[in-house]
Amino acid sequence: MSSPTSRRASIGAVRNPESDAAILEAARALLEERGYADFSLSEVARRAHASKPTLYRRWPNKAALIFELYKAGHSERLSAPLQGELIQDMTAIVLALWRFWRETPTGPALRGLIAEAQSEASAIETLRQIYSPSSPKMARARIEHAIALGELAPNFDTDSALMLIMAFNWSQLLTNQIDDEAAVAPVLKLIFTSHPR
């Protein structure tokens, strides 16, 4: 039986944080080793010594587990040097993401997830969570800072700006052009220029 503490801390089913960590670690290693296409939940369960029902209760499909890794990787390892000027900072944030996608399995994983979602309805929901204006935290914080400073008008449409930037990042990733770093600044200039307070 679970303790009152773990019952309070968990919204859904009671989770074992140790086994969650083992599963995520096994998943990360497997993704790094095999890539998206050959990644399977049953192999993750085997490596983490977890039961398949445990794993499936927590992550109903491959896309959901990959998404968890994807989010964790971003919040742990993604950082950009911020210099002060809006377009310069936004460019640094986008380039840090592109570099992160190139240098870790997250880039290929997102490509695999997008490909899978075109024929697999269960992956579409996960994809929509990624493609949501609440998803890019660092970029949102920088825009809100710009609004507070008066660099952008108070009614600047932050959600639309973030959607456009994410869409641009995806298209560059999907056409294998996230090394074309010169493409970033002009696009951001178009989004952020001439929206003065």
Residues within window 32-91 making contact with a copy of itself, judged by CB under 8 A = 37
Q: Using CA atoms, how far apart are residues 163 and 28, in angstroms rounded to an integer?
A: 28
Interface with a copy of itself, residue 164, by CB under 8 A: yes
Q: Which of 128, 179, 181, 197 binds a copy of itself (CB under 8 A)?
A: 128
CB of 133 to a copy of itself, least distance (A): 11
Closer to a copy of itself by Cβ: residue 74 or 111: 111
Interface with a copy of itself, residue 163, by CB under 8 A: yes
HSE-CB at 154 with a 13 A cutoff on CA atoms is: 0
Please, what is the end-to-end C-alpha distance for the chain in angstroms?
58
Q: Which of 21, 148, 149, 167 binds a copy of itself (CB under 8 A)?
A: 167
Given a contact cutoff of 8 angstroms between Cβ atoms, the answer to whether 41 and 62 are in contact is: yes
Structure tokens at 145: 């800072």
Question: 182: burial class by Cβ within 10 Å (0-12, 13-18, 19+)?
Answer: exposed
Binding residues for a copy of itself (CB under 8 A): 37, 111-112, 114-119, 124, 127-128, 131, 157, 159-161, 163-164, 166-168, 170-171, 174-177, 183, 186-187, 189-191, 193-196
